Amino acid sequence: MPILPIVTGKDAPILHKKTERVKKMTKNLETLIKNMLLTVHNSNGAGIAAPQVNRTERICIAKIGEDFVALVNPEIRWFGKKTGVMEEGCLSLPGLWMDIERPLEIIVNFETLKGKKRELKLEDFDARVVQHEVDHLDGVLITDRAKK
């Protein structure tokens, strides 16, 4: 399984495009997810989204607790009212760190590799990572979120 090249630069067009829902899980998509897992591990990241490896599918990997979880077609269904500011970096913007305000709690719905529907209530760092990766799937970067 290869480590995938990561798209870098805030002006890279694919990083500003909304991704397409996965209609059916295929062997190729399973291989993509395995390669994305290897890539995020190799990069010491907390997550990675398909656009960061030059793909348009609505797929991301996020570190939740101690494990990396593949989220297929993730949608954040609820945002808590309480927010917090934390410094965030991005594999696509190497060396750039920005203070980003995000809700401290979310509920995310997604599908597993096997097509099973899941719902998770996440908080703190886990919620932040998933929000960051779902932003990528919607064409949003931390440079778009940062307070001016």
Report the distance separating Cα 106 and Cα 76, nearest Å: 7
Q: Is 87 a catalytic residue?
A: no
Report the distance separating Cα 4 and Cα 133, nearest Å: 17
| Residue closest to 126 by CA, chosen among 43, 38, 37, 64 | 64
**Maximum separation of any 2 CA atoms in the chain, in Å:** 43
- Asked if residue 33 lies in contact with residue 59, where contact means CB atoms within 8 angstroms, the answer is yes
Report the 10 Å Cβ neighbour count for 83.
11
Q: CA torsion, points 53, 56, 60, 61, in degrees to nearest 10?
A: -30
* Beta-bridge partner residues of 67: 64
Q: Which residues are catalytic?
A: 133
